[in-house]
Structure formats: C-alpha cells, structure tokens
Amino acid sequence: MNATKTIDTTGIDIEKIRADFPLLSRKVNGKPLVYFDNGATAQKPNRVIEALNHYYRFDNANIHRGVHTLSREITLAYENARNTVRKHLNAANPYEIVFTKGTTDSINLVASSFAKKYISRGDEVIVSVMEHHSNILPWQQVCEERGAILKAIPINEAGELVMEEYYRLLSPKTKIVAVAHVSNTLGTINPVKEIIAAAHAKNIPVLLDGAQAVPHIKVDVQELDCDFYCFSAHKVFGPTGVGILYGKEKWLNAMPPYQVGGGTIKTVSFEKTEYADLPLKFEAGTPDISGGIGLAAALDYVNEIGLDAITEYEHGLLQYATTEIKKLKDVKIIGTAKEKAGVLSFAVEGIHPFDIGTLLDQLGVAVRTGHHCTQPLVAFYCIPGTVRVSFAFYNTKEEINIFIEGLEKAIRMLK
C-alpha cells in the first residue's frame, strides 16, 4: 500500500517500519494486503527472518550437551536469548524464564504441574468469562481430574471484569487465579494489579495470560508481582512454535517437572532420578532453538521502536477506527471497556460475521471472524461471534479507511 509519508507524533516512522515486514507488500485477491489479524499472529520483520536463516545456515547444533565449538556457541546464544526475554519482562533471574511451545503450552505446564502439588478435592480455581480457551481448558481438565471446582469471574456489558464478584469468589478454597492480561476478543486491559493484590492478600498465586498484552504494552513482572506470566513469540513478531513461561523462583522450584526426558535431569538411574535446576527442569527434549533466537530478535526489534511509542500509536489507530465504525448503521462494538488495547470487535445486526469476513477478504482485508476461541464470552453476548480487527504498529489510518469502505460495501450487499 502507499502509506503517506508520516513520522507520527509518537515517533513511529511508518514507512520505514512497513519496509521491515516483507509480507506487508504482498497482494491478496489482487489488492494490497490490509493485515488486521495480528491477534491471531503477527507478521515478521526481516530481522527475525534473517535470524532464523542465519541459524540454519551457520549456527545449527544442539544446546546444553556438546563440548564442540558449534554447540558451545549456540548454547550461549540461546541463553542470551533467554536473558533478552528476562530483560523484556524485567524478571529478576534468567532461570525464571522457561522456553515453551507458546502460551497454550505454558498454561498447560502450570496447570498440570501446579495441580499435582497444590490442587485437591474441593479446592477452587478462578478464571474469567473472557478467557481464551487456552486459559480455561487446562484448568477445567485438572479440576475434573482432581475433583476441584472451576469458577469464572463474570463480566459486564462493556466487557470489564466485575471486580466485586471477583473479591467474593476468592476464598480459602481458592488455590490459583488465572486471567488474561488483555482479552483477545474484546481488547479489555484487565486491572491485573488489583487482581494480584487481592489474591496475594489471601496467599493465592496469580497466573497472567499475556498473549495479547506483550505485543502492545510494557510488562514488568516484578512490578505486577504476578506469580506466572505466559506469552507466545508469534504474536510479538517472532516465530511460531515457541513461547515463554515466567514463574517466580519459589513456585517453579516447588513444582514437579511437567514433561520429563533428556535435558531435565542431573543424574538418572533405574533406582532414582535427580532433576535439573531451573529452568532446565521444565525444558524436556531439544527445544525450538532457532525459535528462541528468533524471539530475542523480535523483542530487540520491538524495543528499538519502543513500547511506549507502540502503545500510543496503536491507541490512536483504535480511537480512529472506533470513531469511524460508530458512523455505520447496525454495527455494534463488542467490548467497550475504558482500558483497551488495539482490538476492535463488532457485530452487525442480521449479518453473520463469516459473510463480512469473506467479503472483506475479497478486498484484501484480513480480519478474524467467529468466536476467537472464547465461546463462553460470545455466549455471554448471545451472538455467534464477532468480526475482529486487531492492530499492530505497522498498521495505518489509510488501511482503516480501506477497511471501513469495504465494511460499508459488505453491509450494503448483505442487507
């Protein structure tokens, strides 16, 4: 697309940034691509693509096991990547950063391992109505296995957690609270500091699902004081197949390994196995080495642009899109929380979201349609799903104009 030459007041040099993402210059259905499905996965800058390429061309070896040069070099690079993640989240120690396959894997790790030690019959786990299925099902499964009860914090019509209800749900039976930092369907930024403070007052740990937060806002796990924090590399401009679990040392040390095998041990015999120290205790088998390195390259890139600038720029996009979409008849925004990240979900009266998504696709506009893996949430709104626009810092107001024009056209055709 022809982005007009703008260096935004936030300092975002949009032309330069867009040139860093080769896929953005692709055409789709003969039209310049407008990529508004960043909540599903974000596009990758050259920096990340080159890091992956370089790894396989020049650096490939296994980590944590060889005395030869390649293995030592790549072990160092992988551990440096871990430290880049530590710095990004402001975790106290690199061994509190566990490489996983992604957010879903991170949550499964905590649910499974934490439950083995701490959850038994009659205990309770608190999630919320707005959670992604990845932050419901692992808890539902361990609750079923252990005879525990899963409770959900309700939301109001705006898509905000009803905090009084949350405070009421916290009880001596509550063993852990697991909530999204930012909702993938609504964009709501949850009041996680209040959530954590209230849980900690009762000695209950809190896991934050940060899949939709890390790409958009600064996250400081020490300031938040969360016990666990999860995110996926692919949503923060890194590769697929890799993600992060941050856990406070005291919890990770106390929890049993999740999966076991090569890499997780100090000594093995048929009589007794002694497991490795953190973080290796939780990293069974050969990991996605290039993925970890690619994630570090992505975080370096994001930090060069600056998260404050990104948050402000995306806020501008969200405000603009919200104002423009409100001008259209029969469109109802789903998720009108006071605090929102760059997600705009909506429903159009009498039209199925898939039909709108399909027509927008013909115009080169990629949006997500459906329940977004949040079925309890869309059930709350009594709708089959939404059309969701989710922004990244490489999107522009010009793209929003193309989308709004396309949406108007789609509504006219489908009404």
Q: 119, exposed or middle or buried, with CB in 10 Å at 0-12, 13-18, 19+?
A: buried
- Residue 382 tokens, joined: 């009594």
Q: From the CB of residue 323, how many other CB atoms can be counted at a distance below 10 Å?
A: 10
**104 contacts ligand 7TS (rule: CB under 6 A):** yes
Q: Give the C-alpha distances (Å, rounded to integers) separating 360 from 30, 214, 330, 332, 357.
A: 13, 28, 17, 18, 5
- The angle at the Cα of 205, spanning 237 to 307, to the nearest 5 degrees, equals 25
The rounded distance, in Å, linking the Cα atoms of 208 and 127 is 10
Integer-rounded Cα Rg, in Å, for the chain is 22
Q: Which is nearer to ligand 7TS, 100 or 264 (CB)?
A: 100
**135 contacts ligand 7TS (rule: CB under 6 A):** yes
Q: State the pairing for strand pair 243-247/97-100.
A: antiparallel
Q: From the CB of residue 79, how many other CB atoms can be counted at a distance below 10 Å?
A: 14
Piece of 83-91, 109-117, 356-364, 367-375 that binds ligand 7TS (CB under 6 A): 367-375
Q: Which is nearer to ligand 7TS, 174 or 184 (CB)?
A: 184
Enter the DSSP assignment of 25. Answer: G
The minimum distance between CB 211 and ligand 7TS, in angstroms, equals 4
Among 180, 296, 367, 411, binds ligand 7TS (CB under 6 A): 180
The minimum distance between CB 12 and ligand 7TS, in angstroms, equals 24
The rounded distance, in Å, linking the Cα atoms of 403 and 399 is 6
* H or E stretch covering 362: helix 353-362
φ/ψ (deg, to 5) at 317: -60, -45
Site for ligand 7TS in 13-32 (CB under 6 A): none
The minimum distance between CB 70 and ligand 7TS, in angstroms, equals 30
The minimum distance between CB 42 and ligand 7TS, in angstroms, equals 11
**39 contacts ligand 7TS (rule: CB under 6 A):** yes
The rounded distance, in Å, linking the Cα atoms of 141 and 333 is 33
The minimum distance between CB 184 and ligand 7TS, in angstroms, equals 3
Piece of 84-92, 209-217, 287-295, 407-415 that binds ligand 7TS (CB under 6 A): 209-217
Task: Find out whether 365 and 34 touch, Cβ atoms under 8 Å.
Answer: yes
The minimum distance between CB 268 and ligand 7TS, in angstroms, equals 31
The rounded distance, in Å, linking the Cα atoms of 14 and 8 is 8
Q: How many residues sit close enough to ligand 7TS to count as binding (CB under 6 A)?
A: 17
Site for ligand 7TS in 270-329 (CB under 6 A): none
**162 contacts ligand 7TS (rule: CB under 6 A):** no
Among 132, 151, 175, 248, binds ligand 7TS (CB under 6 A): 132
Residues in the chain: 415
Q: From the CB of residue 138, how many other CB atoms can be counted at a distance below 10 Å?
A: 23
The minimum distance between CB 188 and ligand 7TS, in angstroms, equals 11
Q: Is the peptide bond before 287 cis (omega within 30 degrees of 0)?
A: no
Q: Which is nearer to ligand 7TS, 84 or 104 (CB)?
A: 104
**209 contacts ligand 7TS (rule: CB under 6 A):** yes
Point out the residues that are catalytic.
373
Tell me the DSSP string of 298-357.
HHHHHHHH-HHHHHHHHHHHHHHHHHHHHTSTTEEEE---SSB-SEEEEEETTB-HHHHH
Among 97, 211, 219, 351, binds ligand 7TS (CB under 6 A): 211
Q: Which is nearer to ligand 7TS, 136 or 310 (CB)?
A: 136
Among 35, 63, 102, 337, binds ligand 7TS (CB under 6 A): 102
Q: Which is nearer to ligand 7TS, 103 or 396 (CB)?
A: 103
**232 contacts ligand 7TS (rule: CB under 6 A):** yes
Piece of 45-53, 129-137, 245-253, 263-271 that binds ligand 7TS (CB under 6 A): 129-137
**184 contacts ligand 7TS (rule: CB under 6 A):** yes
**178 contacts ligand 7TS (rule: CB under 6 A):** no
The minimum distance between CB 291 and ligand 7TS, in angstroms, equals 12
Residue that has been written with the tokens 């396989």 in this structure: 56
Interface residues toward ligand 7TS, by CB under 6 A: 39-40, 102-104, 132, 134-135, 180, 184, 209, 211-212, 232, 368, 372-373
